[in-house]
Amino acid sequence: MTVSKIPQHVAIIMDGNGRWAQQHGLPRIEGHRRGAEAVKRTLKAAQNNGVKNITLYAFSVENWNRPENEVNALMDLLEKFLQNQLPELIKRQIRLRVIGRYSELPEPIQDQLHKCEEATSEFTEYTLGLALNYGSRTEVVDAVKAIAQAAHAGVIDLNELDYEGFRAYLYTRDMPDPDLVIRTSGECRLSNFLLLQSAYAEIYLSTVLWPDFDETEFTKALTEYAARERRYGRTAEQLSS
Query: Which residues form the interface with ligand IPE (CB under 6 A)?
Result: 13-19, 57-60, 63, 74, 185, 187, 189, 191, 210
Q: Work out how close the CB of 84 gets to ligand IPE at its nearest, in angstroms, rounded to a whole number.
A: 18
Q: Is 68 helix (H, G, I), strand (E, B) or coil?
A: helix
Phi-psi region of 100 (alpha: psi -120 to 50; beta: other; left: phi over 0): left
Q: Is 130 helix (H, G, I), strand (E, B) or coil?
A: strand
Task: Using the minimum distance from each CB to ligand IPE, give the nearer residue, 17 or 120.
Answer: 17
217 near Mg ion, rule: CB under 5 A: no
* Residue 152 binds which of ligand IPE, Mg ion, none (CB < 5-8 A, kind-dependent): none
Q: Work out how close the CB of 161 gets to ligand IPE at its nearest, in angstroms, rounded to a whole number.
A: 30
Choice from 15, 139, 179, 202 touching Mg ion (CB under 5 A): 15
| Rg over CA atoms, the chain | 18
- For this structure, is 69 an active site residue? no
Q: Is 32 helix (H, G, I), strand (E, B) or coil?
A: helix
Between the two ends of the chain, the Cα-to-Cα distance in Å is 22
Q: Work out how close the CB of 206 gets to ligand IPE at its nearest, in angstroms, rounded to a whole number.
A: 13
- For this structure, is 212 an active site residue? no
State how beta strands 126-134 and 180-183 pair: unpaired
31 near Mg ion, rule: CB under 5 A: no
21 near Mg ion, rule: CB under 5 A: no
Task: Using the minimum distance from each CB to ligand IPE, give the nearer residue, 74 or 109.
Answer: 74
Q: Work out how close the CB of 5 gets to Mg ion at its nearest, in angstroms, rounded to a whole number.
A: 30
Residue among 63, 76, 212, 214 flagged as catalytic = 63
Task: Using the minimum distance from each CB to ligand IPE, give the nearer residue, 169 or 218.
Answer: 218
**Three-state secondary structure along 177-217?**
CCCEEEECCCCCCCCCCCCCCCCCCEEEECCCCHHHCCHHH
Give residues with Cβ within 8 angstroms of 70, minimum separation 6. 28, 29
Binding site for Mg ion (CB under 5 A): 15
Point out the residues that are catalytic.
15, 63
